[in-house]
Structure 1
Amino acid sequence: MKRGILLLMLATLLWGGNYICGRFLAPALPATLLNTVRWAISTVILFGLLSINKKNIPIFAKWKEFLILGFFGVFGFSTLNYLGLRSISASQAGMISAGIPVAILVFTPFVLKEHIKVKAWIGTAVSILGVILLIQGKHAASSRGSVVGDIEILLSCLAWGLYTVLGKKYGKQMDPLTMTAGASFYGTLLSAISCIGTVQPNMVHMTVNAWLAVIYVSTFASVGAYFAWNAGVKIVGAGRAAPYINLLPVWTVVFGVFLLHEQISGTSLVGGVITIIGAVLATL
Protein backbone atom coordinates (compact mmCIF):
# COMPACT_ATOMS: atom_id res chain seq x y z
CA MET A 1 0.00 0.00 0.00
CA LYS A 2 2.78 2.46 0.93
CA ARG A 3 4.50 1.78 -2.40
CA GLY A 4 1.28 2.59 -4.24
CA ILE A 5 0.86 5.88 -2.38
CA LEU A 6 4.48 6.84 -3.10
CA LEU A 7 3.91 6.14 -6.82
CA LEU A 8 0.80 8.33 -6.85
CA MET A 9 2.71 11.13 -5.14
CA LEU A 10 5.57 10.73 -7.63
CA ALA A 11 3.16 11.03 -10.56
CA THR A 12 1.66 14.29 -9.27
CA LEU A 13 5.16 15.62 -8.53
CA LEU A 14 6.25 14.92 -12.12
CA TRP A 15 3.08 16.55 -13.49
CA GLY A 16 3.72 19.56 -11.26
CA GLY A 17 7.10 19.94 -12.94
CA ASN A 18 5.32 20.24 -16.28
CA TYR A 19 3.78 23.57 -15.18
CA ILE A 20 7.20 24.86 -14.13
CA CYS A 21 8.77 23.86 -17.45
CA GLY A 22 5.82 25.29 -19.37
CA ARG A 23 6.31 28.64 -17.65
CA PHE A 24 10.07 28.48 -18.23
CA LEU A 25 9.63 27.60 -21.91
CA ALA A 26 7.01 30.31 -22.61
CA PRO A 27 9.55 32.74 -24.16
CA ALA A 28 11.50 29.94 -25.88
CA LEU A 29 8.81 28.21 -27.95
CA PRO A 30 5.27 29.04 -29.15
CA ALA A 31 2.72 26.96 -27.23
CA THR A 32 1.59 24.95 -30.27
CA LEU A 33 5.15 24.11 -31.33
CA LEU A 34 6.13 23.17 -27.77
CA ASN A 35 3.15 20.84 -27.57
CA THR A 36 4.01 19.29 -30.95
CA VAL A 37 7.64 18.63 -30.01
CA ARG A 38 6.69 17.31 -26.57
CA TRP A 39 4.11 14.81 -27.76
CA ALA A 40 6.05 13.77 -30.86
CA ILE A 41 8.83 12.54 -28.56
CA SER A 42 6.30 10.96 -26.19
CA THR A 43 4.57 9.19 -29.10
CA VAL A 44 7.84 7.62 -30.24
CA ILE A 45 8.49 6.37 -26.69
CA LEU A 46 4.95 5.03 -26.28
CA PHE A 47 5.04 3.22 -29.64
CA GLY A 48 8.40 1.77 -28.65
CA LEU A 49 6.89 0.43 -25.42
CA LEU A 50 4.01 -1.10 -27.37
CA SER A 51 6.52 -2.77 -29.69
CA ILE A 52 8.52 -4.15 -26.73
CA ASN A 53 5.29 -5.56 -25.27
CA LYS A 54 4.40 -6.95 -28.72
CA LYS A 55 1.12 -5.07 -28.84
CA ASN A 56 -0.48 -3.90 -32.06
CA ILE A 57 -2.16 -0.49 -31.98
CA PRO A 58 -5.41 -0.14 -33.97
CA ILE A 59 -4.36 3.28 -35.23
CA PHE A 60 -6.91 3.25 -38.08
CA ALA A 61 -9.56 0.86 -36.74
CA LYS A 62 -10.08 3.06 -33.65
CA TRP A 63 -9.28 6.38 -35.32
CA LYS A 64 -12.45 8.11 -34.09
CA GLU A 65 -11.79 7.26 -30.45
CA PHE A 66 -8.11 8.16 -30.71
CA LEU A 67 -8.87 11.42 -32.52
CA ILE A 68 -11.38 12.53 -29.88
CA LEU A 69 -9.06 11.60 -27.01
CA GLY A 70 -6.11 13.21 -28.78
CA PHE A 71 -8.04 16.42 -29.35
CA PHE A 72 -9.10 16.89 -25.73
CA GLY A 73 -6.30 15.23 -23.76
CA VAL A 74 -3.18 15.94 -25.83
CA PHE A 75 -3.89 18.88 -28.13
CA GLY A 76 -6.53 20.79 -26.14
CA PHE A 77 -5.34 20.27 -22.58
CA SER A 78 -1.61 20.71 -23.13
CA THR A 79 -1.81 23.57 -25.64
CA LEU A 80 -4.22 25.54 -23.43
CA ASN A 81 -1.88 24.96 -20.48
CA TYR A 82 1.13 26.28 -22.34
CA LEU A 83 -0.87 29.24 -23.68
CA GLY A 84 -2.03 30.14 -20.17
CA LEU A 85 1.48 29.87 -18.74
CA ARG A 86 2.63 32.67 -21.04
CA SER A 87 0.71 35.23 -18.98
CA ILE A 88 0.17 33.77 -15.49
CA SER A 89 2.51 32.16 -12.97
CA ALA A 90 2.98 28.42 -12.63
CA SER A 91 1.68 28.68 -9.05
CA GLN A 92 -1.51 30.36 -10.21
CA ALA A 93 -2.02 27.79 -12.99
CA GLY A 94 -1.38 24.95 -10.57
CA MET A 95 -3.98 26.19 -8.09
CA ILE A 96 -6.57 26.59 -10.84
CA SER A 97 -5.77 23.02 -11.93
CA ALA A 98 -7.28 21.87 -8.65
CA GLY A 99 -10.55 22.21 -10.56
CA ILE A 100 -9.69 19.13 -12.69
CA PRO A 101 -11.46 16.63 -10.37
CA VAL A 102 -14.49 18.93 -10.44
CA ALA A 103 -14.48 18.93 -14.27
CA ILE A 104 -14.34 15.13 -14.24
CA LEU A 105 -17.29 15.04 -11.84
CA VAL A 106 -19.37 17.43 -13.98
CA PHE A 107 -18.94 15.38 -17.17
CA THR A 108 -19.40 11.95 -15.55
CA PRO A 109 -23.23 11.86 -15.38
CA PHE A 110 -23.56 13.08 -19.00
CA VAL A 111 -21.01 10.75 -20.61
CA LEU A 112 -21.01 7.70 -18.33
CA LYS A 113 -24.58 8.04 -17.00
CA GLU A 114 -23.30 7.51 -13.46
CA HIS A 115 -25.11 8.91 -10.41
CA ILE A 116 -23.19 11.54 -8.43
CA LYS A 117 -23.83 11.89 -4.69
CA VAL A 118 -24.96 15.17 -3.12
CA LYS A 119 -21.73 15.43 -1.10
CA ALA A 120 -19.72 15.44 -4.31
CA TRP A 121 -21.83 18.29 -5.74
CA ILE A 122 -21.29 20.26 -2.52
CA GLY A 123 -17.55 19.74 -2.94
CA THR A 124 -17.86 20.95 -6.53
CA ALA A 125 -19.60 24.15 -5.41
CA VAL A 126 -16.92 24.79 -2.78
CA SER A 127 -14.16 24.22 -5.33
CA ILE A 128 -15.74 26.64 -7.84
CA LEU A 129 -16.03 29.26 -5.09
CA GLY A 130 -12.33 28.76 -4.36
CA VAL A 131 -11.38 29.26 -8.02
CA ILE A 132 -13.39 32.51 -8.14
CA LEU A 133 -11.66 33.76 -4.98
CA LEU A 134 -8.31 32.65 -6.35
CA ILE A 135 -8.71 34.64 -9.54
CA GLN A 136 -10.09 37.68 -7.71
CA GLY A 137 -7.06 37.68 -5.42
CA LYS A 138 -4.72 37.49 -8.38
CA HIS A 139 -6.31 40.41 -10.18
CA ALA A 140 -6.23 43.08 -7.52
CA ALA A 141 -3.79 44.61 -9.98
CA SER A 142 -5.30 42.98 -13.03
CA SER A 143 -4.16 42.89 -16.64
CA ARG A 144 -6.09 41.66 -19.64
CA GLY A 145 -3.37 39.15 -20.50
CA SER A 146 -3.52 37.45 -17.13
CA VAL A 147 -7.34 37.23 -17.30
CA VAL A 148 -7.01 35.44 -20.64
CA GLY A 149 -4.37 33.17 -19.08
CA ASP A 150 -6.76 32.21 -16.28
CA ILE A 151 -9.49 31.40 -18.80
CA GLU A 152 -7.08 29.26 -20.84
CA ILE A 153 -6.10 27.23 -17.75
CA LEU A 154 -9.77 26.82 -16.79
CA LEU A 155 -10.55 25.57 -20.30
CA SER A 156 -7.62 23.14 -20.04
CA CYS A 157 -9.21 21.72 -16.86
CA LEU A 158 -12.46 21.15 -18.76
CA ALA A 159 -10.56 19.50 -21.62
CA TRP A 160 -8.79 17.11 -19.24
CA GLY A 161 -12.02 16.36 -17.41
CA LEU A 162 -13.71 15.36 -20.66
CA TYR A 163 -10.65 13.37 -21.77
CA THR A 164 -10.63 11.44 -18.48
CA VAL A 165 -14.33 10.58 -18.65
CA LEU A 166 -14.15 9.59 -22.31
CA GLY A 167 -11.01 7.58 -21.53
CA LYS A 168 -12.96 5.60 -18.97
CA LYS A 169 -15.66 4.94 -21.56
CA TYR A 170 -13.25 3.90 -24.33
CA GLY A 171 -11.04 2.03 -21.85
CA LYS A 172 -13.49 -0.86 -22.01
CA GLN A 173 -12.32 -1.49 -25.58
CA MET A 174 -8.51 -1.23 -25.13
CA ASP A 175 -5.76 -1.17 -22.51
CA PRO A 176 -4.46 2.18 -21.09
CA LEU A 177 -1.07 2.06 -22.87
CA THR A 178 -2.67 1.51 -26.29
CA MET A 179 -5.24 4.23 -25.63
CA THR A 180 -2.60 6.73 -24.51
CA ALA A 181 -0.35 5.97 -27.49
CA GLY A 182 -3.22 6.39 -29.95
CA ALA A 183 -4.36 9.65 -28.36
CA SER A 184 -0.76 10.86 -28.36
CA PHE A 185 -0.37 10.08 -32.09
CA TYR A 186 -3.49 11.97 -33.20
CA GLY A 187 -2.96 14.78 -30.68
CA THR A 188 0.52 15.34 -32.08
CA LEU A 189 -0.90 15.53 -35.62
CA LEU A 190 -3.44 18.14 -34.52
CA SER A 191 -0.73 20.13 -32.75
CA ALA A 192 1.48 20.02 -35.84
CA ILE A 193 -1.38 21.22 -38.05
CA SER A 194 -2.04 24.12 -35.65
CA CYS A 195 1.55 25.30 -36.19
CA ILE A 196 0.98 25.89 -39.89
CA GLY A 197 0.88 29.64 -40.56
CA THR A 198 1.11 30.50 -36.85
CA VAL A 199 4.75 29.66 -36.04
CA GLN A 200 7.68 31.59 -37.49
CA PRO A 201 11.43 30.78 -37.11
CA ASN A 202 12.06 34.06 -35.23
CA MET A 203 9.65 32.89 -32.50
CA VAL A 204 12.02 30.08 -31.44
CA HIS A 205 14.67 30.96 -28.84
CA MET A 206 16.08 27.67 -27.59
CA THR A 207 18.95 27.27 -25.12
CA VAL A 208 20.55 24.22 -23.51
CA ASN A 209 18.29 24.61 -20.45
CA ALA A 210 15.26 24.98 -22.70
CA TRP A 211 16.09 21.69 -24.44
CA LEU A 212 16.47 20.00 -21.05
CA ALA A 213 13.01 21.30 -20.11
CA VAL A 214 11.58 19.92 -23.38
CA ILE A 215 13.13 16.52 -22.67
CA TYR A 216 11.62 16.58 -19.17
CA VAL A 217 8.06 17.33 -20.32
CA SER A 218 8.36 14.72 -23.09
CA THR A 219 9.55 11.91 -20.84
CA PHE A 220 9.16 12.34 -17.08
CA ALA A 221 6.05 14.56 -17.19
CA SER A 222 4.39 12.42 -19.86
CA VAL A 223 5.40 8.77 -20.00
CA GLY A 224 7.02 8.58 -16.53
CA ALA A 225 4.10 10.18 -14.70
CA TYR A 226 1.64 8.03 -16.67
CA PHE A 227 3.31 4.79 -15.56
CA ALA A 228 3.73 5.93 -11.95
CA TRP A 229 0.06 6.92 -11.71
CA ASN A 230 -1.29 3.74 -13.28
CA ALA A 231 0.99 1.54 -11.18
CA GLY A 232 -0.18 3.37 -8.06
CA VAL A 233 -3.85 3.04 -9.03
CA LYS A 234 -3.35 -0.69 -9.60
CA ILE A 235 -1.97 -1.09 -6.05
CA VAL A 236 -4.33 1.12 -4.01
CA GLY A 237 -7.43 1.09 -6.25
CA ALA A 238 -9.06 3.85 -8.30
CA GLY A 239 -11.29 5.10 -5.47
CA ARG A 240 -8.43 5.62 -3.03
CA ALA A 241 -6.16 7.03 -5.72
CA ALA A 242 -8.52 9.78 -6.93
CA PRO A 243 -7.92 12.32 -4.10
CA TYR A 244 -4.16 12.20 -4.66
CA ILE A 245 -4.58 14.18 -7.89
CA ASN A 246 -5.16 17.14 -5.58
CA LEU A 247 -1.46 17.08 -4.71
CA LEU A 248 -0.78 18.50 -8.20
CA PRO A 249 -1.51 22.15 -7.29
CA VAL A 250 0.44 21.75 -4.04
CA TRP A 251 3.60 20.62 -5.85
CA THR A 252 3.14 23.34 -8.48
CA VAL A 253 2.94 26.09 -5.87
CA VAL A 254 5.98 24.74 -4.00
CA PHE A 255 8.03 24.50 -7.21
CA GLY A 256 6.85 27.91 -8.41
CA VAL A 257 7.88 29.63 -5.19
CA PHE A 258 11.25 27.91 -4.76
CA LEU A 259 12.36 27.42 -8.37
CA LEU A 260 10.81 30.40 -10.17
CA HIS A 261 10.68 32.72 -7.13
CA GLU A 262 6.99 33.41 -7.69
CA GLN A 263 4.93 35.32 -5.15
CA ILE A 264 1.37 34.47 -4.08
CA SER A 265 -1.09 36.92 -2.54
CA GLY A 266 -2.89 35.95 0.66
CA THR A 267 -6.27 35.99 -1.09
CA SER A 268 -5.02 33.74 -3.89
CA LEU A 269 -3.55 31.32 -1.38
CA VAL A 270 -6.86 31.14 0.52
CA GLY A 271 -8.72 30.61 -2.76
CA GLY A 272 -6.31 27.83 -3.75
CA VAL A 273 -6.77 26.06 -0.41
CA ILE A 274 -10.57 26.29 -0.70
CA THR A 275 -10.38 24.94 -4.26
CA ILE A 276 -8.33 21.95 -3.13
CA ILE A 277 -10.65 21.27 -0.16
CA GLY A 278 -13.66 21.33 -2.47
CA ALA A 279 -11.95 19.00 -4.94
CA VAL A 280 -11.09 16.55 -2.13
CA LEU A 281 -14.73 16.56 -0.98
CA ALA A 282 -15.85 15.97 -4.55
CA THR A 283 -13.55 12.98 -5.09
CA LEU A 284 -13.79 11.18 -1.73
Structure 2
Amino acid sequence: MKKGILLLVIATLLWAGNYICGRYLGPALPATLLNTVRWAISTLILWGLLALNKKQLPLIAKWKEFFILGFLGIFAFSTLNYIGLKSISASQAGMISAGIPIAILFFTPFFLKEKIKPKAWMGAVISILGVILLVQGKQGASSEGSIMGEAAILLSCVAWGMYTVLGKKYGKQIDPLTMTAGAAFYGTLLSAISCIGTVDAGAIHMTPTAWLCIVYVSTFASVVAYFAWNAGVKIVGAGRAAPYINLLPVWTVLLGVLLLQEQISGLTLAGGIITILGAILASL
Protein backbone atom coordinates (compact mmCIF):
# COMPACT_ATOMS: atom_id res chain seq x y z
CA MET A 1 0.00 0.00 0.00
CA LYS A 2 2.81 2.44 0.90
CA LYS A 3 4.49 1.72 -2.42
CA GLY A 4 1.26 2.50 -4.27
CA ILE A 5 0.81 5.82 -2.44
CA LEU A 6 4.43 6.74 -3.15
CA LEU A 7 3.90 6.08 -6.87
CA LEU A 8 0.79 8.31 -6.88
CA VAL A 9 2.69 11.11 -5.16
CA ILE A 10 5.59 10.79 -7.63
CA ALA A 11 3.18 10.95 -10.58
CA THR A 12 1.57 14.19 -9.38
CA LEU A 13 5.02 15.68 -8.68
CA LEU A 14 6.17 14.85 -12.22
CA TRP A 15 2.99 16.33 -13.70
CA ALA A 16 3.53 19.51 -11.67
CA GLY A 17 6.95 19.79 -13.28
CA ASN A 18 5.17 20.16 -16.63
CA TYR A 19 3.77 23.52 -15.47
CA ILE A 20 7.24 24.69 -14.44
CA CYS A 21 8.72 23.64 -17.77
CA GLY A 22 5.81 25.30 -19.54
CA ARG A 23 6.86 28.63 -18.03
CA TYR A 24 10.47 28.10 -19.17
CA LEU A 25 9.37 27.04 -22.65
CA GLY A 26 6.84 29.86 -23.14
CA PRO A 27 9.40 32.27 -24.66
CA ALA A 28 11.24 29.45 -26.46
CA LEU A 29 8.52 27.86 -28.60
CA PRO A 30 4.97 28.65 -29.78
CA ALA A 31 2.46 26.54 -27.82
CA THR A 32 1.31 24.44 -30.80
CA LEU A 33 4.88 23.64 -31.89
CA LEU A 34 5.90 22.83 -28.31
CA ASN A 35 2.99 20.43 -27.97
CA THR A 36 3.82 18.80 -31.32
CA VAL A 37 7.46 18.21 -30.40
CA ARG A 38 6.58 16.98 -26.90
CA TRP A 39 4.01 14.42 -28.00
CA ALA A 40 5.89 13.31 -31.12
CA ILE A 41 8.69 12.12 -28.82
CA SER A 42 6.23 10.65 -26.32
CA THR A 43 4.39 8.80 -29.11
CA LEU A 44 7.59 7.15 -30.30
CA ILE A 45 8.34 6.02 -26.72
CA LEU A 46 4.82 4.67 -26.26
CA TRP A 47 4.99 2.82 -29.58
CA GLY A 48 8.29 1.29 -28.47
CA LEU A 49 6.64 0.10 -25.27
CA LEU A 50 3.79 -1.42 -27.27
CA ALA A 51 6.32 -3.29 -29.41
CA LEU A 52 8.13 -4.58 -26.31
CA ASN A 53 4.80 -5.85 -24.96
CA LYS A 54 3.95 -7.33 -28.39
CA LYS A 55 0.71 -5.34 -28.59
CA GLN A 56 -0.97 -4.09 -31.77
CA LEU A 57 -2.15 -0.49 -32.20
CA PRO A 58 -5.51 -0.44 -34.02
CA LEU A 59 -5.19 3.09 -35.42
CA ILE A 60 -7.82 2.44 -38.11
CA ALA A 61 -10.22 0.10 -36.30
CA LYS A 62 -10.41 2.38 -33.23
CA TRP A 63 -9.75 5.70 -35.00
CA LYS A 64 -12.86 7.41 -33.62
CA GLU A 65 -12.01 6.70 -29.99
CA PHE A 66 -8.32 7.57 -30.47
CA PHE A 67 -9.19 10.76 -32.37
CA ILE A 68 -11.58 12.02 -29.70
CA LEU A 69 -9.16 11.23 -26.87
CA GLY A 70 -6.24 12.66 -28.84
CA PHE A 71 -8.10 15.90 -29.47
CA LEU A 72 -9.18 16.35 -25.85
CA GLY A 73 -6.29 14.99 -23.79
CA ILE A 74 -3.25 15.50 -26.04
CA PHE A 75 -4.02 18.43 -28.34
CA ALA A 76 -6.53 20.61 -26.46
CA PHE A 77 -5.42 20.02 -22.87
CA SER A 78 -1.68 20.38 -23.42
CA THR A 79 -1.84 23.24 -25.94
CA LEU A 80 -4.23 25.25 -23.76
CA ASN A 81 -1.92 24.71 -20.80
CA TYR A 82 1.08 26.04 -22.71
CA ILE A 83 -0.92 29.00 -24.01
CA GLY A 84 -2.03 29.86 -20.47
CA LEU A 85 1.48 29.53 -19.04
CA LYS A 86 2.73 32.22 -21.40
CA SER A 87 0.86 34.89 -19.42
CA ILE A 88 0.16 33.56 -15.91
CA SER A 89 2.41 31.98 -13.28
CA ALA A 90 2.87 28.24 -12.90
CA SER A 91 1.54 28.54 -9.32
CA GLN A 92 -1.69 30.15 -10.44
CA ALA A 93 -2.12 27.68 -13.32
CA GLY A 94 -1.54 24.80 -10.92
CA MET A 95 -4.16 26.04 -8.47
CA ILE A 96 -6.71 26.55 -11.25
CA SER A 97 -5.98 22.95 -12.30
CA ALA A 98 -7.57 21.90 -9.01
CA GLY A 99 -10.80 22.29 -10.99
CA ILE A 100 -9.99 19.10 -12.95
CA PRO A 101 -11.78 16.75 -10.49
CA ILE A 102 -14.81 19.04 -10.69
CA ALA A 103 -14.83 18.83 -14.49
CA ILE A 104 -14.68 15.05 -14.21
CA LEU A 105 -17.59 15.17 -11.77
CA PHE A 106 -19.74 17.24 -14.13
CA PHE A 107 -19.20 15.01 -17.17
CA THR A 108 -19.58 11.68 -15.37
CA PRO A 109 -23.44 11.63 -15.35
CA PHE A 110 -23.60 12.54 -19.06
CA PHE A 111 -21.12 10.02 -20.45
CA LEU A 112 -21.08 7.23 -17.86
CA LYS A 113 -24.67 7.53 -16.56
CA GLU A 114 -23.39 7.35 -12.98
CA LYS A 115 -25.18 9.12 -10.15
CA ILE A 116 -23.25 11.74 -8.18
CA LYS A 117 -23.80 12.04 -4.42
CA PRO A 118 -24.89 15.39 -2.91
CA LYS A 119 -21.61 15.63 -0.98
CA ALA A 120 -19.71 15.60 -4.26
CA TRP A 121 -21.87 18.41 -5.70
CA MET A 122 -21.26 20.39 -2.51
CA GLY A 123 -17.53 19.98 -3.03
CA ALA A 124 -17.94 21.12 -6.63
CA VAL A 125 -19.68 24.33 -5.56
CA ILE A 126 -16.97 25.03 -2.96
CA SER A 127 -14.27 24.45 -5.57
CA ILE A 128 -15.92 26.79 -8.07
CA LEU A 129 -16.07 29.54 -5.42
CA GLY A 130 -12.38 28.91 -4.77
CA VAL A 131 -11.53 29.26 -8.45
CA ILE A 132 -13.42 32.57 -8.58
CA LEU A 133 -11.37 33.86 -5.63
CA LEU A 134 -8.22 32.47 -7.20
CA VAL A 135 -8.77 34.25 -10.50
CA GLN A 136 -9.57 37.53 -8.73
CA GLY A 137 -6.71 37.30 -6.26
CA LYS A 138 -3.61 37.55 -8.45
CA GLN A 139 -1.17 40.32 -7.64
CA GLY A 140 -1.35 43.52 -9.59
CA ALA A 141 -3.98 44.66 -12.05
CA SER A 142 -5.52 42.22 -14.47
CA SER A 143 -4.27 42.43 -18.02
CA GLU A 144 -5.89 41.11 -21.15
CA GLY A 145 -3.09 38.55 -21.45
CA SER A 146 -3.54 37.21 -17.93
CA ILE A 147 -7.33 36.94 -18.36
CA MET A 148 -6.79 34.95 -21.57
CA GLY A 149 -4.25 32.80 -19.75
CA GLU A 150 -6.70 32.01 -16.96
CA ALA A 151 -9.41 31.19 -19.50
CA ALA A 152 -7.02 28.84 -21.33
CA ILE A 153 -6.20 26.93 -18.13
CA LEU A 154 -9.90 26.68 -17.20
CA LEU A 155 -10.69 25.31 -20.68
CA SER A 156 -7.84 22.82 -20.31
CA CYS A 157 -9.53 21.54 -17.13
CA VAL A 158 -12.74 21.02 -19.10
CA ALA A 159 -10.84 19.17 -21.84
CA TRP A 160 -9.09 16.89 -19.33
CA GLY A 161 -12.37 16.22 -17.52
CA MET A 162 -13.97 15.00 -20.75
CA TYR A 163 -10.83 13.04 -21.67
CA THR A 164 -10.81 11.25 -18.31
CA VAL A 165 -14.49 10.32 -18.38
CA LEU A 166 -14.43 9.16 -22.01
CA GLY A 167 -11.17 7.33 -21.33
CA LYS A 168 -12.94 5.37 -18.60
CA LYS A 169 -15.75 4.58 -21.03
CA TYR A 170 -13.45 3.48 -23.87
CA GLY A 171 -11.16 1.71 -21.40
CA LYS A 172 -13.66 -1.15 -21.18
CA GLN A 173 -12.54 -2.20 -24.67
CA ILE A 174 -8.97 -0.83 -24.92
CA ASP A 175 -6.10 -1.32 -22.47
CA PRO A 176 -4.51 1.88 -21.01
CA LEU A 177 -1.17 1.65 -22.88
CA THR A 178 -2.81 1.10 -26.27
CA MET A 179 -5.36 3.85 -25.60
CA THR A 180 -2.69 6.37 -24.61
CA ALA A 181 -0.47 5.51 -27.59
CA GLY A 182 -3.37 5.84 -30.02
CA ALA A 183 -4.53 9.12 -28.49
CA ALA A 184 -0.95 10.43 -28.56
CA PHE A 185 -0.68 9.67 -32.29
CA TYR A 186 -3.84 11.54 -33.27
CA GLY A 187 -3.18 14.34 -30.79
CA THR A 188 0.31 14.86 -32.22
CA LEU A 189 -1.14 14.85 -35.75
CA LEU A 190 -3.68 17.53 -34.80
CA SER A 191 -0.95 19.61 -33.13
CA ALA A 192 1.24 19.36 -36.24
CA ILE A 193 -1.65 20.46 -38.48
CA SER A 194 -2.32 23.43 -36.20
CA CYS A 195 1.27 24.59 -36.74
CA ILE A 196 0.78 25.02 -40.49
CA GLY A 197 0.74 28.72 -41.33
CA THR A 198 0.66 29.76 -37.67
CA VAL A 199 4.23 29.19 -36.45
CA ASP A 200 6.81 31.90 -37.16
CA ALA A 201 10.43 30.68 -37.21
CA GLY A 202 11.40 33.98 -35.55
CA ALA A 203 9.39 32.95 -32.46
CA ILE A 204 11.67 29.98 -31.80
CA HIS A 205 14.36 30.75 -29.21
CA MET A 206 15.76 27.47 -27.91
CA THR A 207 18.33 27.46 -25.09
CA PRO A 208 20.07 24.59 -23.24
CA THR A 209 17.46 24.92 -20.45
CA ALA A 210 14.66 24.79 -23.02
CA TRP A 211 16.06 21.57 -24.50
CA LEU A 212 16.21 20.00 -21.03
CA CYS A 213 12.58 21.02 -20.47
CA ILE A 214 11.61 19.40 -23.80
CA VAL A 215 13.24 16.14 -22.68
CA TYR A 216 11.47 16.35 -19.32
CA VAL A 217 7.95 17.01 -20.64
CA SER A 218 8.34 14.32 -23.32
CA THR A 219 9.47 11.59 -20.93
CA PHE A 220 9.00 12.21 -17.20
CA ALA A 221 5.86 14.38 -17.41
CA SER A 222 4.28 12.12 -20.03
CA VAL A 223 5.36 8.48 -20.06
CA VAL A 224 6.97 8.03 -16.60
CA ALA A 225 4.21 9.89 -14.73
CA TYR A 226 1.57 7.94 -16.62
CA PHE A 227 3.06 4.59 -15.61
CA ALA A 228 3.66 5.68 -12.01
CA TRP A 229 0.03 6.79 -11.70
CA ASN A 230 -1.41 3.63 -13.23
CA ALA A 231 0.85 1.39 -11.17
CA GLY A 232 -0.23 3.26 -8.04
CA VAL A 233 -3.92 2.98 -8.94
CA LYS A 234 -3.46 -0.76 -9.49
CA ILE A 235 -2.01 -1.17 -5.98
CA VAL A 236 -4.32 1.08 -3.90
CA GLY A 237 -7.45 1.00 -6.07
CA ALA A 238 -9.12 3.71 -8.15
CA GLY A 239 -11.33 4.98 -5.31
CA ARG A 240 -8.44 5.56 -2.91
CA ALA A 241 -6.22 6.95 -5.65
CA ALA A 242 -8.63 9.64 -6.92
CA PRO A 243 -8.04 12.25 -4.15
CA TYR A 244 -4.28 12.16 -4.75
CA ILE A 245 -4.75 14.11 -8.01
CA ASN A 246 -5.37 17.09 -5.72
CA LEU A 247 -1.66 17.07 -4.86
CA LEU A 248 -1.00 18.46 -8.35
CA PRO A 249 -1.76 22.12 -7.50
CA VAL A 250 0.09 21.79 -4.19
CA TRP A 251 3.29 20.60 -5.90
CA THR A 252 2.91 23.22 -8.63
CA VAL A 253 2.73 26.06 -6.13
CA LEU A 254 5.73 24.76 -4.16
CA LEU A 255 7.83 24.28 -7.30
CA GLY A 256 6.75 27.67 -8.66
CA VAL A 257 7.87 29.42 -5.47
CA LEU A 258 11.11 27.44 -5.14
CA LEU A 259 12.26 27.27 -8.77
CA LEU A 260 10.67 30.32 -10.37
CA GLN A 261 10.57 32.64 -7.31
CA GLU A 262 6.88 33.26 -7.95
CA GLN A 263 4.95 35.45 -5.52
CA ILE A 264 1.46 34.54 -4.31
CA SER A 265 -1.04 37.01 -2.88
CA GLY A 266 -3.08 36.14 0.19
CA LEU A 267 -6.35 36.09 -1.76
CA THR A 268 -4.85 33.83 -4.42
CA LEU A 269 -3.59 31.42 -1.76
CA ALA A 270 -6.99 31.42 -0.02
CA GLY A 271 -8.74 30.74 -3.33
CA GLY A 272 -6.34 27.90 -4.09
CA ILE A 273 -6.86 26.28 -0.68
CA ILE A 274 -10.66 26.51 -0.99
CA THR A 275 -10.50 25.05 -4.52
CA ILE A 276 -8.36 22.13 -3.38
CA LEU A 277 -10.55 21.43 -0.32
CA GLY A 278 -13.66 21.44 -2.48
CA ALA A 279 -12.03 19.08 -4.96
CA ILE A 280 -11.01 16.70 -2.14
CA LEU A 281 -14.58 16.71 -0.79
CA ALA A 282 -15.88 15.96 -4.28
CA SER A 283 -13.36 13.14 -4.77
CA LEU A 284 -13.91 11.30 -1.50
| TM value normalised by structure 2 | 0.99
Show the counterpart of 1:224: 224
Q: Provide the rounded CA distance (Å) in 2 between the counterparts of 1:171 and 1:36.
A: 25
Deviation (angstroms), 1:208? 1.1
- 2:256 paired with 1:261: no
**Correspondence for 1:175:** 175
Q: CA deviation at 1:46?
A: 0.1
CA contact (8 A) 2:50 2:178 kept: yes
CA shift, 1:116, in A, is 0.2
**What pairs up with 1:102-121 in 2 under 5 angstroms?**
102-121=102-121
- Distance across 2 between alignment mates of 1:24 and 1:211: 10
Q: Report if the CA contact (8 A) 2:139-2:265 is conserved.
A: no
- Give 2:44's aligned residue: 44
Structure 2: gaps of 5 or more residues: none
Range with greater deviation from structure 2 (14-23 or 132-141) = 132-141
Deviation (angstroms), 1:105: 0.3
What secondary structure does 2:127 align onto? helix
**Per-residue deviation, 1:140:** 5.1
Whole-angstrom CA distance in 1 between matches of 2:131 and 2:277? 11
What secondary structure does 1:141 align onto?
Answer: coil
1:103-142 CA distances to partner (integer Å, 9 max, x unpaired)? Answer: 0000000000000000000000000000000011116511
* In structure 1, C-alpha distance between the alignment counterparts of 2:103 and 2:226, rounded to whole Å: 20
Quote how far apart the aligned CAs of 1:209 are.
1.1
Paired AA for residue 268 in structure 1: T
The one-letter code sitting in structure 2 at the alignment partner of 1:173 is Q
* CA gap 1:140/1:211 in 2 versus in 1, 3 angstroms: closer
Task: Tell me the alpha carbon deviations over residues 69-115 of structure 1, each in whole angstroms, 9 at most, x when there is no partner.
Answer: 00000000000000000000000000000000000000000000000
Alignment RMSD (CA, Å): 0.6
CA contact (8 A) 2:139 2:264 kept: no
* CA deviation after TM superposition for structure 1 residue 37, in Å: 0.1
Structure 1: runs of 5+ lacking an equivalent: none
- Matched positions, count: 284
- Residue 206 of structure 1 corresponds to which residue in structure 2? 206
SS of equivalent to 1:72: helix
TM-score (norm 1): 0.99
Q: Say yes or no: does 1:24 pair with 2:24.
A: yes
Structure 2 partner of 1:164? 164
Cα deviations across residues 125-175 of structure 1 (Å, max 9, x unaligned)? 000000000011116511111011000000000000000000000001110
| Separation in 2, partners of 1:57, 1:40 | 16
Q: 1:201: Cα distance to partner?
A: 1.1
Q: More displaced, 131-140 or 53-62? A: 131-140
1:153 correspondence with 2:170 = no
Q: Structure 1 runs of 4+ off > 6 angstroms?
A: none
> What CA distance in whole angstroms lies between the structure 2 residues aligned with 1:104 and 1:130?
17
Report the equivalent of 1:8.
Answer: 8
Distance 1:140 1:104 in 2: 32
Provide the rounded CA distance (Å) in 1 between the counterparts of 2:174 and 2:16.
28
